[in-house]
Amino acid sequence: MAHIDTSDKVKVFGSFDGLATEIANDMKSNDMLAQRYAVRFIMLNNFDELKELAKLMVKFGVEALDLEELIDEDDEWVTKDMLRDALMACKTSTFVTPFSEVVRFYNDDDFRGFFNDIMLIEDVRNPQKRIYVPLIGLQNRFTDFLNHFARIGESAPVWRYDAEKQTVEVYFTKYKNYEIPQNEIQCKLSSLRDWLKFWKVQAPQ
């Protein structure tokens, strides 16, 4: 078997329509790896494309898993174990949001350990099930993980859409009354629940 590296595994699209076509084709694919492994990682550059992707998933009849549903308290943290268990509990094709807005705060060990756990999720009774995991602004960290993932050759497809990049500065503090030094800050979020819901209505345009 020929050696497969990250550049072989990641399929890059220059348009959203191209990505949408790939998703539609993959849903019906009889490819062995496509049917064996459920998780589909989709690397994006901005929140506008995430919103378009969410609309596409509704059109395709894909269920939504909103991560704020996993927490009972407004400031309860979504641990890697909670997130892994939520993905493994998905019974039908599911779109998970806002996935990257949790995992970006994991330290390197948790980040690698988490992706090692979910990369090869299987559901032999439901080979057409897909778990769509959008990754916004995590291309470097995720690519580094793939470069060191020993079983990359047998893993499910990984997609990347290179739209215009969007830079967002985030100040993360445990203090409720912390004063942010910049005057041009768009908004201030007071809890983790607010952060997890942010992309739907307030994320930068």
Alpha helices in 80-191 (DSSP H): 80-88, 100-103, 108-118, 139-147
Of 64, 67, 89, the C-alpha closest to 78 is 67
Determine the pLDDT at residue 29: 93
Residue 164 pLDDT grade (very low, low, confident, very high; cuts 50, 70, 90) = confident
Mean pLDDT on 80-91: 95
Residue 183 pLDDT grade (very low, low, confident, very high; cuts 50, 70, 90) = low
The number of angstroms, rounded, from the C-alpha of 57 to the middle of its chain's C-alpha atoms is 14
Q: Provide CB contacts within 8 A for 28, sequence distance 6+.
A: 128
Share of the chain above pLDDT 90, in %: 60
Phi, psi of 185 (to 5 degrees): -60, 135
Determine the pLDDT at residue 1: 43
DSSP 106: S
Taking only the tens place, the pLDDT of each residue in 103-117 is 999 999 999 999 999
Determine the pLDDT at residue 180: 65
Q: Which of 69-73, 81-85, 156-160, 162-166 has the lowest mean pLDDT?
A: 162-166
Residue ranges and CATH numbers for the domains of the chain are 6-201 (3.40.50)
Q: Which of 96-110, 134-148, 156-170, 182-196 has the lowest mean pLDDT?
A: 182-196
Q: What is the residue type of 43?
A: M
- Compute the CA torsion angle 116, 118, 25, 126 (nearest 10 deg): 140
Determine the pLDDT at residue 63: 97
In angstroms, the CA 175 to CA 190 distance is 10
Determine the pLDDT at residue 191: 81
Determine the pLDDT at residue 204: 46
